[in-house]
Structures are given as structure tokens and as C-alpha cells.
């Protein structure tokens, strides 16, 4: 088995290296080869997206089947668990503050740090660029659907993160492996569906390993830097970012991670403060902006498919923003120090609230209030830049730094996620880890050269495919989860789980365990 994994790992590394060598390296010396490579990517992304997002007609409007597949459990689970996202919101905040912590519990990071790590992979380009992309395609109304979907996504995030802690694997050296691969395999095995669990776990892992392509982060970081500096070398930018990532994930320059983990919360706070200043200074325009967003969601003008079309656009961007249903954040939450899986699920449900309901709403209001969505030719993060730049002339430069930091921190976070998937498929040998790190860095290089349309097709396709086995498993595990939830709330109410003083946050509380 170990030999098979090693050979598989080597074969995949070699194939990827050949692909990158044939497609990328010649592009530096020959523009025509670069064009040919990008044409091949366009053909692949278009065909792949058409397969994944196969459509059916609902009320004479084409709707992707897989979008409905992910939307359904968000609503079903919210109702099934009695709107836990509302009735347990206060409890979730108390757990986050450490009011029910157990210092002796196994795990690698505190529950607050687990949430911070997961948020570092979601708060950022999904909320800054993702909202702009949604509005550019579906109009202002797409932003409202993102918020509505995020509300229901909170329960789905609770479900997958609770299961991730319950069925995580604790290694002898104190590290933790968890996520959909483990709760699909071990959770279904415990219910007598061993073979099905192994199939779903393996299917999820295969789909998830291809999300190694963190092209969106590179693309939007380059787009903003190109706007403010005039840099016109997407391949060079990709190589630079890949090299910087390599220095970190190969074990060197860990100070970069420490600095970034402290800068990201600061830059996030700066972005939120700037958003609030713009919103407050335009307080008279807020009612009209909200009316524009609501009208665009319920009675869209000029959007293919009408209200259903806008919903689909909002859904696709909300999935990227919240990551609910695809299981990625569950890998970070699995490392939390707790003996109570439900408590970590409670903490996790705060994630979509913060990254989408709060941050994305601010971005949407600023874009609509400033009228940036009406400027021709702006289709991605440059729309957000124009919105903030119309009030603060210097903000596009700050945004360029912020976007780079967000992109870098997200790339590092996803490196952790996918390393867990890679370990599940190919083992934890030194060869396996080295192969993963090499492939992960090489996969970043083309990001700046691809179009945002190609990026969306590729990212959305892999993200939604990850949701197929994950959702099947969560449906089957839902009755077990409901019993665990009832038992946990009973013990909280009876005082069996004792409340203690909340922890005091320090700068180390925000440090990512990477």
C-alpha cells in the first residue's frame, strides 16, 4: 500500500511537472505558445463547466442542478435543526470567547484560533472581489442573494464542522487530521455503511485535491496590483508569488507567516473601517442603495433568467465566499482543542455570518452607493477599487497591499487544507509531502494570465463537485448530529458543562497555526 501511494504520488507529480513545463515555461520566451496554452485552458474550463453545471428548466429558466443540490441542504438542515443559526447564536459567541473551554482537551489550536484560521481562507477576495464579480454579472441584487444564502449556510457549516471534530484522527505527535474524508469514512462506518463511506471519502478527496489550483487568489491580486502600478507581467507575478509561497510551505521564512497573520486582522479592520466611513458619510443614500439591491434581487432588469438567474449567480459566489457545504473549513476546525464536537460546530456557524453577511454586505453597499457598478469595463476587484477610490483617492494602493496579503494568507490556509487531503490519498511520507508542496507552488503560476471568466469556471466547478459526496454523507449523518446537538444543549442547560470566565484576547490569539 505504501509503495502504491509513493508511485501514485510520483506519477501525479511528474504529470503535473510535464504539464507546467509544456504550458508555462515556453510561454516566457514565446508569446504564441502562451496564447496556445491559454486557448487550451479556455477550452478545458468551458467544457468542464458545461459538464458540472448541467441545467434543467424551472419556470422556463435554466438552472444548474448542482446549485440546487447545494442550496437544498442549507434550507433543509436549518429547519431540521430548529434554526440553530438563530437560537444558538449567543451561545456560539460565548463558546468562541472560551466560556466553556477545557484546557486539557486534545487539539492543536484554541477554538478562537481555529475560527481565525478558517476565516483567513474566506474573509478576503471572496468578499472583496467576489461581491464585485457577482454584481457585474447579476446586478446589485446578486449581493442580497449572497447574504440570504449565507444565513442558511451557517447551519450547513455547523453540521460539517461538528462531524469533523467528532471523527478526527489524533496522531501520536499531537497533530490532528480531520475533515470530510474522515467523517465520511469513519462516521458512515460507525453506522454500518463502511463501503459507502470509503467510496464517498475517496470521491471527495479526489475532487478536493484539484482545488489545489488557487488561481483566483493570484488572479485578483495581480488585477489590483496591475491597476495601481501598471505591472504588465502576469507570468512573472505568478512565479514571484509561487516562490514566496514555496519559502513558507517548505519550512523557511516562517517569520513571513507570523507577520502576515498579524497584518491580516489589521488590514481587515482597516477595510471594514473604510467601508463604514463611506457608508456613514453617505447615510442619506443608504435607503436608495438598499432599495436598489432588493429590487435587483426580486425584480432584476436585464439579467438572463430573471430572479432565478440572479439567485444562481449569488449562490455560486456565496459558496466561494462561505465555503459552506464543500468541507474545506472543517479541516481547520477539526484541529480545535475541545472534547465537545458540537461546541466547535457552534463556533463554525459564526463564520458565514462574519465573512458574508457582514463583510460582503459592506462591500455591496459601498459599490452601490458610489455607483461603481455602473462604470463600464469593471468586472472584478477593480470595481471595488473604483468604489473606494472615488472617496479615498489613496485607497486603491492600500487595497493592493490588502488584497496581496489576503491572497497570500488564503493560499497558505488552503495549502494546509489540501495537504490534509493529499495525506489521505498519498500518505504522510517525506516524498509525498515534498511532491505536494512542489505541485502546489507550480499551480499558482498561471493565475495572473488567465481571464476572470476562466477562473470562475474552474474554481466553481471543483468547489461544487466537492459538495456532492460531502452533502450525501451529511444527510446520512444528520440524525446522529441532531441527537448530539440535543444532548449538548441539555448539558449546557443543566450546568453539567460548566461555564468559566472568558479568555482575554491577545495578539497571539490571532496567530495562525501554519
DSSP of 384-440 = HHHHHHTT-TTHHHHHHHHHHHHHHHHHHHHHHHHHHHHHHHH-S-HHHHHHHHHHH
Q: In sequence order, what are the beta bridge partners of 310? A: none
Give me the mean pLDDT over the 374-383 stretch.
Answer: 78
Of 3, 156, 101, which is closest to residue 336 (Cα–Cα)?
101
- Whose grid coordinates read 438552472? 63
What pLDDT is stored for residue 215 in this prediction?
Answer: 80
Residues 123-157: b if buried by 16+ CB within 10 A, e if exposed? bbbbbbbbbbbbbbbbbbbbbbbbbbbbbbbbbbb
What pLDDT is stored for residue 262 in this prediction?
Answer: 65
Residue 170 per-residue DSSP state: E
Give me the mean pLDDT over the 320-338 stretch.
Answer: 82
pLDDT higher than 60, residue 427: yes
Least-confidence region, from 18-27, 127-136, 471-480: 18-27
What pLDDT is stored for residue 261 in this prediction?
Answer: 57
% of the chain residues with pLDDT over 70: 82
Give residue 190's pLDDT band: very low, low, confident or very high (50, 70, 90): very high
What pLDDT is stored for residue 156 in this prediction?
Answer: 93
Question: Which three three-digit cell numbers place residue 62?
Answer: 435554466
How many angstroms from the chain centroid is the CA of residue 464?
12
H/E stretch holding 268: helix 254-281
Least-confidence region, from 57-61, 80-84, 239-243, 428-432: 57-61
Give residue 504's pLDDT band: very low, low, confident or very high (50, 70, 90): low
pLDDT higher than 70, residue 14: no
Give me the mean pLDDT over the 481-501 stretch.
Answer: 88
Question: Which three three-digit cell numbers place residue 152?
Answer: 442558511
pLDDT higher than 50, residue 207: yes
Say which residue, 298 or 194, is predicted with more confidence.
Answer: 194
pLDDT higher than 60, residue 12: no
Give me the mean pLDDT over the 464-474 stretch.
Answer: 91
Inter-axis angle of helices 125-138 and 359-370, to 10 degrees? 50
What pLDDT is stored for residue 313 in this prediction?
Answer: 72
For 330-344, the pLDDT digits (tens) are 887 888 888 899 999
Least-confidence region, from 59-68, 128-137, 215-224: 59-68
For 29-41, the pLDDT digits (tens) are 445 566 777 777 7
What pLDDT is stored for residue 13 in this prediction?
Answer: 43
Residue 374 per-residue DSSP state: G
Give residue 43's pLDDT band: very low, low, confident or very high (50, 70, 90): confident
Largest CA distance in the chain: 71
**Pairwise CA distance, residues 311 & 143, whole Å:** 9
pLDDT higher than 90, residue 154: yes
What pLDDT is stored for residue 323 in this prediction?
Answer: 77
Question: Which three three-digit cell numbers place residue 479?
Answer: 440524525
Give residue 483's pLDDT band: very low, low, confident or very high (50, 70, 90): very high
Give me the mean pLDDT over the 490-504 stretch.
Answer: 80
Out of 186-190, 244-248, 417-421, give the one with best mean pLDDT: 186-190
Give me the mean pLDDT over the 370-389 stretch.
Answer: 82
Give residue 78's pLDDT band: very low, low, confident or very high (50, 70, 90): very high
What pLDDT is stored for residue 486 in this prediction?
Answer: 95
Give residue 484's pLDDT band: very low, low, confident or very high (50, 70, 90): very high
Give residue 169's pLDDT band: very low, low, confident or very high (50, 70, 90): confident
pLDDT higher than 50, residue 371: yes
What pLDDT is stored for residue 300 in this prediction?
Answer: 61
For 294-312, the pLDDT digits (tens) are 888 876 654 544 566 677 7
pLDDT higher than 60, residue 279: yes
Give me the mean pLDDT over the 425-453 stretch.
Answer: 84
Per the CB < 8 A criterion, the answer to whether 208 and 328 are in contact is: yes
pLDDT higher than 50, residue 81: yes
Average pLDDT value for the chain: 79
**Pairwise CA distance, residues 351 & 160, whole Å:** 13
For 120-147, the pLDDT digits (tens) are 666 666 777 778 888 887 788 888 888 8
Q: In sequence order, what are the beta bridge partners of 61? A: 58
What pLDDT is stored for residue 508 in this prediction?
Answer: 52
**Pairwise CA distance, residues 421 & 425, whole Å:** 6
State the pairing for strand pair 61-64/169-170.
Answer: unpaired
**Pairwise CA distance, residues 67 & 121, whole Å:** 22
Of 136, 184, 494, 118, which is closest to residue 328 (Cα–Cα)?
118
pLDDT higher than 80, residue 317: no
Amino acid at each position: 500500500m505504501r509503495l502504491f501511494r509513493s508511485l501514485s504520488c510520483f506519477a501525479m507529480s511528474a504529470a503535473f511537472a510535464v504539464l507546467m513545463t509544456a504550458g508555462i515555461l515556453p510561454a516566457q520566451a514565446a508569446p504564441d505558445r502562451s496564447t496556445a496554452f491559454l486557448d487550451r485552458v479556455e477550452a478545458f474550463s468551458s467544457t468542464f463547466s458545461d459538464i458540472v453545471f448541467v441545467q434543467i428548466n424551472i419556470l422556463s429558466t435554466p438552472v444548474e442542478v448542482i446549485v440546487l443540490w447545494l442550496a437544498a441542504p442549507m434550507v433543509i438542515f436549518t429547519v431540521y435543526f430548529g434554526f440553530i443559526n438563530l437560537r444558538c447564536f449567543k451561545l456560539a459567541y460565548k463558546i468562541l470567547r472560551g466560556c466553556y473551554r477545557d484546557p486539557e482537551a486534545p487539539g492543536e489550536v484554541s477554538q478562537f484560533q481555529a475560527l481565525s484560521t478558517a476565516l483567513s481562507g474566506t474573509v478576503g477576495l471572496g468578499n472583496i472581489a467576489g461581491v464585485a464579480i457577482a454584481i457585474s454579472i447579476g446586478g446589485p441584487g446578486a449581493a442580497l442573494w449572497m447574504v440570504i444564502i449565507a444565513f442558511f449556510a451557517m447551519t450547513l457549516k455547523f453540521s460539517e464542522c461538528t462531524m469533523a471534530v467528532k471523527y478526527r484522527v489524533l496522531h501520536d505527535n499531537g497533530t490532528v487530521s480531520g475533515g470530510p474524508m474522515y467523517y465520511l469514512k469513519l462516521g458512515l462506518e460507525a453506522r454500518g455503511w463502511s463501503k459507502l463511506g470509503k467510496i464517498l471519502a475517496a470521491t471527495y478527496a479526489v475532487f478536493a485535491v484539484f482545488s489545489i489550483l488557487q488561481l483566483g487568489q493570484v488572479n485578483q491580486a495581480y488585477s489590483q496590483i496591475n491597476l495601481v502600478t501598471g505591472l504588465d507581467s502576469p507570468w512573472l507575478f505568478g512565479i514571484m508569488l509561487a516562490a514566496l509561497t514555496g519559502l513558507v510551505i517548505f519550512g523557511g521564512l516562517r517569520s513571513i507567516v507570523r507577520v502576515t497573520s498579524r497584518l491580516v486582522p489589521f488590514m481587515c479592520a482597516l477595510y471594514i473601517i473604510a467601508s463604514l466611513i463611506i457608508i456613514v458619510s453617505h447615510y442619506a443614500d443608504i435607503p436608495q442603495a438598499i432599495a436598489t439591491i432588493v429590487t435587483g434581487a426580486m425584480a432584476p432588469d436585464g439579467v438572463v433568467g430573471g430572479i432565478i438567474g440572479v439567485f444562481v449567480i449569488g449562490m455560486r459566489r456565496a459558496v466561494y465566499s462561505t465555503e459552506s457545504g464543500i468541507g474545506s473549513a472543517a479541516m481547520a476546525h477539526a484541529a480545535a482543542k475541545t472534547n465537545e464536537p458540537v461546541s466547535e460546530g457552534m463556533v463554525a456557524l459564526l463564520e458565514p455570518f462574519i465573512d458574508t453577511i457582514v463583510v460582503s454586505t459592506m462591500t455591496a453597499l459601498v459599490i452601490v452607493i458610489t455607483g461603481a457598478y455602473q462604470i463600464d469595463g469593471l468586472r472584478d476587484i477593480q470595481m471595488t477599487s473604483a468604489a473606494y477610490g472615488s472617496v479615498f483617492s489613496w485607497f486603491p494602493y492600500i487595497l493592493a497591499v490588502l488584497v496581496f496579503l489576503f491572497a497570500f494568507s488564503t493560499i497558505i490556509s488552503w495549502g494546509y487544507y489540501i495537504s490534509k487531503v493529499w495525506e489521505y490519498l498519498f500518505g504522510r511520507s517525506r516524498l509525498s509531502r515534498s511532491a505536494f508542496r512542489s505541485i502546489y507552488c507550480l499551480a499558482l503560476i498561471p493565475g495572473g494570465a488567465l481571464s476572470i471568466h476562466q477562473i470562475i469556471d474552474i474554481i466553481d466547478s471543483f468547489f461544487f463537485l466537492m459538495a456532492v459526496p460531502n452533502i450525501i454523507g451529511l444527510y446520512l449523518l444528520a440524525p446522529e448530529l441532531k441527537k448530539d446537538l440535543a444532548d449538548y444543549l441539555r448539558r449546557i442547560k443543566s450546568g453539567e458543562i460548566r461555564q468559566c470566565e472568558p479568555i482575554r484576547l491577545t495578539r497571539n490569539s490571532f496567530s495562525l497555526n501554519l
